[in-house]
Structures are given as C-alpha cells and as structure tokens.
Amino acid sequence: MAFSLLLAARILAQVHSRHSLTKALTTLSGEHPAARAAAQDVAFGTLRRFGCGEFILGRLLTRAVPHPETEALLLAALYRLQTRPEAAYMIVDQAVAAAGELAGGAFKGLVNGLLRNYLRQRDVLDAAMADDDVAGQQHPGWWLARLRRAYPTCWREIVATGNAQPPMTLRVNRRRVLADDYLAQLRAAGLAARRLAGAGDALILDKPVAVDALPGFADGLVSIQDFGAQRAADLLGPLAGQRILDACAAPGGKTAHLLEAADVELLALDLDVLRARRIDDNLRRLGLSATVKVGDCRAADQWWDGQPFDAILADVPCSASGVVRRHPDIKYLRRESDIRRFARTQAEILDQLWPVLRAGGKLLYATCSVFPEENGAQIDAFLVRQPDARRVSEEQLLPHDDHDGFFYALLRKAA
C-alpha cells in the first residue's frame, strides 16, 4: 500500500500542476495492475473530496509544504485516514514509508508528525471541516455560488451527486443484439444489471466491472456510455440516408450511437489528432463506418465539401460541470473565468455550423454542463442572432443517481 500511496501522490501532484487526471494516469501504464488500480482509487477519492485535505493542512501547518509530491502524499494519506479509520496506524506507517521515497526522505518527519497530529485532533478537525463551505460541500466556492443562483431549491442534491461514485452504464448495440437479450447474457455471466425505464438501449450495472468482464464487449455488442449522453441520438433522431455531421466527435460514443440507430452518411470531426484516432478505434470495434476528419468545426473551408447536412450534432467544449463525479480533477482544473471562455467558443461553433445545415435541417446543441451560461442562455442568444433558427425542444438533465448532467437544445432551420 505504501507504493500505491506513492503512485497516487505523483498523480495528484500532476493534477495540482494543471495536468488532467487522464493524462496523469498514463504515467501508471507500466505499473503492476493491482498497484495501478489501488493508486487510481486513492487519487480519484482524494480529488472527489475537494477542499477536505487542504482544510486540514491549513489548520495543522504553519507554512506550505515546499515539495509538491509530499503535499500530495499528505492529501492522499488524509483521504485514506478519513475513509479507513480502522486502519489508521497502518496508513500512517505506509505514508511515512512512501515519504522516504520522495525528496531523499527529507519530509518523513513532517509526514509522520502531521498525520499523527490529525489523528489526535480528528474529531475537532472533522467537525470544523463539516462547517466549512468548500470542504463541507467538496466543491470550489465559485462553483457553489453559481449552483445556488441557478438551482436554489436543489443545488445540494446536485453537489451530493457530484461527490458520489458514478454508475457504470452500458449502451447496447442494437445492430448486434436486443437490450433484453444482452441483459440475459449479463445475468448468465453473473453480472446484475437493470434497464432504465424508457431508456431504450441503456443498462445500468449494479457494480462496475472491467470491460473485459462484459460479454461480447470486444465484439462490439455494447459500449460504456452514460444514459445522459445516450440522449443525443434519441433527440437528433437520425433517419436512413441522411447526411449527418458530428462536429466535436471524439472519442466517438455519440458518433457510434447515431450509426447504430440508422444507416446514415456521417462525418465525424474533431480538432485533436489523438482523440480522433479513438473515434476510428471505437467504430472498428463496433463494426461501424464513418468518415473521420481532423479539423476545427469553426473553419468549414478546411473540411466541408459544400454539400449541406441534414442534421448536425454540436457536442461543444464546456465546463464539464455535469460529469464531475466521473472527472473529479475538474474541480481543481476549472476556474470561474473558464465559463466565459467556453461560452465564447460555443457561440462561435453555433454561428459557424449554422450555414452548413440545409434549410429545414436540425442541429442538436449539447453540453455536459449544468451552468445556464453554457446552456439555455447560450441558445437564447443564438436565436436572437439567427432569425431563421427555431427551438424545437430543450432539455436540462441535472446530475442524478442514474445519469450525469447534460443539456440539449434541438434547433430547426427554417425551410
């Protein structure tokens, strides 16, 4: 466990240096699977408890820890002490051993003293932490303020869901198998799952498992995709023969779902070369075909052949505030100023995609955000700028036990 704490500390230090958790986790690729899994579990848990460890360090330290990885180790160890109190002294010993591998062991004494001091004052510190807004709610202060303004009656539920473990949801590939038949395959494999009422292809597992444990995953029978994300294909409603653009497509989950739903001619576009490759990988596994291009959807002259699209999915870059339980590093990486930056990019994407949509065609605007500036307010402003745009429907999914937070607005272009 000492080695896992050490690995978790190195991951957390990268996140605190503004690297994404996804990128930080790639550094574990050469480690033993058990150590990698344990380190990942500690890193995710520490990040979910935003502000908790920092609150305790602020109370127990007279000055900042001068070594980032040692500070990260303290945060990881405090998380373990809070969630595994029965193993407190073993965790302290493991953290001290891990500290011996950092900075030449210069901070072993600091780690030992601080963690034992926490154990002596735990009840008082935990009570004080519960009364602190940021540590108690485990979200940044600016984030909480925005949620309170936007959702005065249910912001606490949104916060609680964001701090919880996410469900593992499957999307059944309807071209290969029926949802009820695949549910039977899961049960035969000893995996408990349930269908979501009115959710079509979505199944939720009672407990997450490795993808290798899913029957037929390698053969494309199912994909991992939250129910909220699965709403995109249902709302856009692709029809056979249509020409469709998925404008911000990587990693390809929504692209694949559109192709599973109907025989369409689809262009999947993404700005990032590496992420675009994941689209190809996903389509290959599922036995689906689309044209995949790398390009900026705001620069149509780089990729558009001049033929208008019948339908467009614009799953735009956003704060990802609706999926924070899956990506807890977002709490550390986002700044309040990012919301305005995302809103500008979203407006540019809408304005630049509208001309490539045929008259009478549909555009589905999508975010995984709960902030109104990126959602309803963005669409209101677009409708003022584009008099030939009509709002067909609008749907805000707030984070829930069964799904993440998503926003969808279906627009139609006047004929």
- Considering the domain boundaries, does residue 163 fall inside one? no
Residues 65 and 132 in one domain: yes
Residues 132 and 15 in one domain: yes
Instruction: Print the domain residue range for 195.
Output: 168-225
Q: How far apart are the first and last CA of the chain?
A: 64
CB 159 within 8 A of CB 152: no
Tell me the pTM.
0.95
Q: What percent of the chain has pLDDT over 70?
A: 100
- Considering the domain boundaries, does residue 154 fall inside one? no
When pLDDT is averaged across residues 8-19 and rounded to a whole number, the result is 95
Can you read off the two tokens belonging to residue 336? 């309040």
Given a cut of 90, whether residue 198 has pLDDT beyond it is: no
Residues 197 and 254 in one domain: no
When pLDDT is averaged across residues 100-118 and rounded to a whole number, the result is 96
Q: What pLDDT was estimated at residue 9? A: 96
Residues 12 and 132 in one domain: yes
- Considering the domain boundaries, does residue 395 fall inside one? yes
When pLDDT is averaged across residues 221-228 and rounded to a whole number, the result is 97
Q: What pLDDT was estimated at residue 131? A: 94
* CATH code of the domain covering residue 80: 1.10.940.10
Residues 253 and 374 in one domain: yes
Can you read off the two tokens belonging to residue 160? 């609680």
Q: What pLDDT was estimated at residue 197? A: 77
Single out the residue of 119, 147, 208, 216 nearest to residue 176, CA to CA: 216
DSSP class of residue 403 equals B
- Confidence class for position 2, pLDDT limits 50, 70, 90: confident
What does pLDDT average to over the chain?
A: 96
Given a cut of 90, whether residue 170 has pLDDT beyond it is: yes
- Confidence class for position 269, pLDDT limits 50, 70, 90: very high
Positions marked catalytic: 368
Q: What percent of the chain has pLDDT over 90?
A: 95
When pLDDT is averaged across residues 58-67 and rounded to a whole number, the result is 94
Residues 28 and 116 in one domain: yes
* CATH code of the domain covering residue 186: 3.30.70.1170
* CATH code of the domain covering residue 404: 3.40.50.150
Residues 316 and 332 in one domain: yes
Residues 219 and 282 in one domain: no
- Considering the domain boundaries, does residue 183 fall inside one? yes
Count of structural domains within the chain: 3
Label residue 393 exposed, middle or buried (CB < 10 Å: 0-12, 13-18, 19+): exposed
Single out the residue of 317, 387, 393 nearest to residue 354, CA to CA: 387
- Considering the domain boundaries, does residue 146 fall inside one? no
Q: What pLDDT was estimated at residue 63? A: 92
Residues 68 and 199 in one domain: no
Measured in residues, the chain has a length of 415
Residues 217 and 238 in one domain: no
